[in-house]
A and B are shown apart, each in its own frame.
Chain A
Amino acid sequence: MNARMKLISTASTALLLAGCLANSDTEFVYQTQTDELMKEAKKGFKQPDGGDKVWGLENYLLDLFGTPNDLVAWKRLPVDFGAAGNNLAQGRKLYMEHCMHCHGVSGDGDGPTARYLKPLPRDYRKGLFKFTSTLASDKPNRDDLKRTIKLGIPGTYMPSFMLLTDSELHSVTEYVRWLALRGELELKLDAELSDYDNSDAVRQSRRDDIAAAKKALTAAEKEAEKKPGDPALKAEVAAKQEARKRAENAKETLDKDVRQFLLSQGDSAEDGLREKVDENADFIVGRWARVTDGQNRIVPLAPRTPSSPESINRGRRLFLDNEIKCLECHGDTGQGNGPQTRSYAEGADKPGLFDDWGHPQKPRNLTTGIYRGGRRPIDIYRRIRGGIKGTKMPPNIKLKDQQVWDLVNYVLSIPLNEGPAVTQNKHDHDHDHDHKQADASGE
């Protein structure tokens, strides 16, 4: 072929091959609270007298967890890393293939396909998972997560991964737990560093403070001009000048403060935040570790009352009870349209319910027969007893077991009814009679 053909074919081959240089710079993202911290708190700082770099939050996370392509198995965590971190590596591979596109590289529920999904995929980073068997204040145990992965969540975009082998299921569950632990530690450290917030809101309030101080100074100066020589007014002006200087120096003072804080948290400059990291890690680890061996599970103390019209009736009466308040959210027909969906929660600017991730949350429509957390009686029992973590579905520990079973029987019967269940009871029956008579008389 001639020179031009050769050039074109070489160039296009080169371009094609360039695609093979995979961009493997995947990184974990940081949460908003971290992004809004001051630079020193986030990334640490170099000491002016040439000592070692003092670490910030991001440095610690990088050191203890690594990057997606370079994972670190921090032994302190209650994660089964497997021999030589095999579990983590296999878990990561499976996660990237099956889970990442919805749940995101960092488990933030914001992967590439997440934007098309409603409800949104789970954000693991608060360590909150909805469908668990543990007490309301506890973390999920491994079985809960495995069950969710294996059976999927009907009514959402989470499919069932039934065909994973046991080893694959185990490793991907461990990876998810690892991501959750990383997210929780990050949030805890954000709380420790919360004084060093550099978000837009805080920066704006600093600017507002300076503007206010300037205004006060001008007003004081004007007052002093009217009565020159007055010592009280002169003192006012001096005070207002001080205030303005303080407002303008606020950022500088904070800079000094944050360095002080980071340096003071440890024996040597390298330790910095280390103590806080260890403290918070221990706390988080304790919460996860205390459910790993099946402790703190919600287990009924009485067997299920067999389903019967009587039990279902009792359940319905409990459902409509003013003290128990099911119908506040779920509505009296169980369609998820109760009064709470139309009222404003404290501090909200939109009506309705919101979950712990800040998203609008509709109470479950119980008439569809879709049970996201499972349709076994024990699953419904656990939703009622333990609530649903991260949502406004509260736990109820006051009801007796028999009452909860009646409720469970009622809930399971709702989709099978042709219409709203009617509670049979003498008083109601008489009431119907009265209405019929009234209608007959044309009123």
Chain B
Amino acid sequence: MKKHWNHFWGIFFMFWPVVAILSCVVAPARKWWFPGVAMSPLGERIDDLFYLLLIIVTAVFIATQIAMGYVLWKGASRTSGTAWYTHGSHKLEVIWTIVPSGILLFMALYQLDVWAEFRVTSTFPAQARNQPLAEVTARQFEWRIRYPAPDRVFRGHDDIKRWLQQPEAGDLYTVNDFHIPTGRPVMFFLRSQDVQHAFFCPELRVKQDAVPGLVIPIWTEAIAGGDYSLLCAELCGWGHYKMKARLAAQPEAAFQKYLRDLQTSQNDDGYVPPSDSSEQE
């Protein structure tokens, strides 16, 4: 009896890692995983990085858990003999410091490219950088979007800065409904009207904090059209959980049509030409 009880903890601590591995194996099929495939090129590379890390970490996890299981089992099986004292092994310590450091260093350097392309403005695709698409302002608890006039062409950094500081007559405004064209990189500026928010589009793998006082450029490219979610990912108050907008990616022609329709409705003067019948107000 005593012998079986000794092994209890070994079994207990081996049970949970097995559950963890099994959960990860069934997760994609059960949708406990990413919200679909990444819908942007940079998103795909981010996903690749994630899988690389996952593989490395899983290998290490399995190895260490097997080692721990072995030690627990063997230790519990030994019912006689005293414990022996050791000063440790310097060689072992060096190995299991240098090898993990090497792995970590590799991971840190390997991901630098992707990180930089996402964060460093000068690496953004020039096409997107030179003609920003919109200004997205987060406020409690909605997303307000301002597009430049459809025929607006920006001439240089100063022009863009001026547009950011001073609204113009042809600007188009919407709320909670952000449209972007597919098939080309686009850049927009993120602002906050009150507290910290975060622009988070899981399908496009984009996440960026909106800090009050800062104007932060974000770029992305939607591979395919569809309605994606624009969520807030920084606790901003009681309504944070439902601060959701629609991010609609449309083919270029449909997007241009959308902007023109928006312009028409924004200039709506409510005038209805009198019909032929004599029904006048």
- Nearest-CB residue, chain B, relative to A158: B142
Return 21 A-B CB contacts under 8 Å, by A number: A101-B238, A152-B142, A159-B141, A159-B239, A160-B175, A162-B245, A162-B246, A302-B271, A304-B271, A369-B167, A375-B173, A375-B266, A376-B267, A376-B269, A376-B270, A377-B268, A378-B268, A381-B269, A405-B269, A412-B169, A416-B168
Q: A163-B246, A299-B272, A416-B169 are in contact. Are A377 and B175 (CB under 8 A)?
A: no
Chain A residues with CB under 8 Å of B139's CB are 159
The reply to whether A301 and B269 contact each other, CB–CB distance below 8 Å, is: no
In Å, the complex CA distance between A304 and B273 comes to 12
Partner of A162, one of B140, B175, B272, B281: B175
Chain B residues with CB under 8 Å of A376's CB are 265-270
B129 at the interface (CB under 8 A from A): no
The reply to whether A299 and B271 contact each other, CB–CB distance below 8 Å, is: yes
| Smallest CB separation, A56 vs chain B (Å) | 38
Chain A residues with CB under 8 Å of B168's CB are 416
- Nearest-CB residue, chain A, relative to B281: A299
The reply to whether A151 and B271 contact each other, CB–CB distance below 8 Å, is: no
- Chain A 242-268 near chain B by CB (<8 Å), digits 1 or 0: 000000000000000000000000000
In Å, the complex CA distance between A307 and B177 comes to 28
A415 at the interface (CB under 8 A from B): yes
The residue among B167, B244, B267 with the most chain A CB atoms within 10 A of its own CB is: B267
B176 at the interface (CB under 8 A from A): yes
Known: A376-B270, A377-B267, A412-B169. 20 other contacts (CB 8 A): A101-B238, A152-B142, A157-B140, A159-B140, A159-B142, A160-B176, A162-B177, A162-B246, A163-B244, A299-B272, A299-B281, A300-B270, A302-B271, A304-B267, A369-B167, A375-B266, A376-B265, A377-B270, A381-B269, A382-B270
Residues 206-253 of B at the A interface (beta carbon under 8 Å): 238-239, 242, 244-246
A154 at the interface (CB under 8 A from B): yes
B144 at the interface (CB under 8 A from A): yes
Chain A residues with CB under 8 Å of B244's CB are 163
In Å, the complex CA distance between A299 and B280 comes to 10
In Å, the complex CA distance between A378 and B267 comes to 8
Chain B residues with CB under 8 Å of A300's CB are 269-271
Enumerate chain A interface residues (CB-CB to B < 8 A): 98, 101, 113, 151-152, 154, 157, 159-160, 162-163, 299-304, 307, 369, 375-378, 381-382, 405, 412-413, 415-416
Q: How many interface contacts (CB-CB < 8 Å) are there between A and B?
A: 70
| Smallest CB separation, B229 vs chain A (Å) | 9
In Å, the complex CA distance between A162 and B144 comes to 11
In Å, the complex CA distance between A301 and B268 comes to 14
Residues 78-103 of B at the A interface (beta carbon under 8 Å): none
Enumerate chain B interface residues (CB-CB to A < 8 A): 139-142, 144, 166-169, 173, 175-177, 238-239, 242, 244-246, 265-272, 281
The reply to whether B269 and A162 contact each other, CB–CB distance below 8 Å, is: no
The reply to whether A377 and B269 contact each other, CB–CB distance below 8 Å, is: yes
Q: Which 4 A-B pairs have the closest CB atoms?
A: A378-B270, A162-B176, A304-B269, A303-B271
In Å, the complex CA distance between A148 and B93 comes to 67
The reply to whether B281 and A154 contact each other, CB–CB distance below 8 Å, is: no
Chain B residues with CB under 8 Å of A302's CB are 271
The reply to whether A378 and B269 contact each other, CB–CB distance below 8 Å, is: yes
In Å, the complex CA distance between A356 and B167 comes to 34
Chain B residues with CB under 8 Å of A159's CB are 139-142, 239
In Å, the complex CA distance between A291 and B239 comes to 33
In Å, the complex CA distance between A405 and B281 comes to 18
Partner of B281, one of A301, A378, A416: A301
| Smallest CB separation, B236 vs chain A (Å) | 12
In Å, the complex CA distance between A303 and B272 comes to 8
Chain B residues with CB under 8 Å of A304's CB are 267, 269, 271
Chain B residues with CB under 8 Å of A382's CB are 270
| Smallest CB separation, A83 vs chain B (Å) | 28
Chain A residues with CB under 8 Å of B238's CB are 101, 113
Chain A residues with CB under 8 Å of B245's CB are 162-163
Q: A375-B173, A378-B269 are in contact. Are A160 and B142 (CB under 8 A)?
A: yes
In Å, the complex CA distance between A378 and B269 comes to 4
| Smallest CB separation, B97 vs chain A (Å) | 44
- Nearest-CB residue, chain B, relative to A376: B268
Q: A113-B238, A299-B271, A369-B167 are in contact. Are A163 and B266 (CB under 8 A)?
A: no
Chain B residues with CB under 8 Å of A381's CB are 269-270
- Nearest-CB residue, chain A, relative to B266: A376
- Nearest-CB residue, chain A, relative to B176: A162
The reply to whether B269 and A154 contact each other, CB–CB distance below 8 Å, is: no
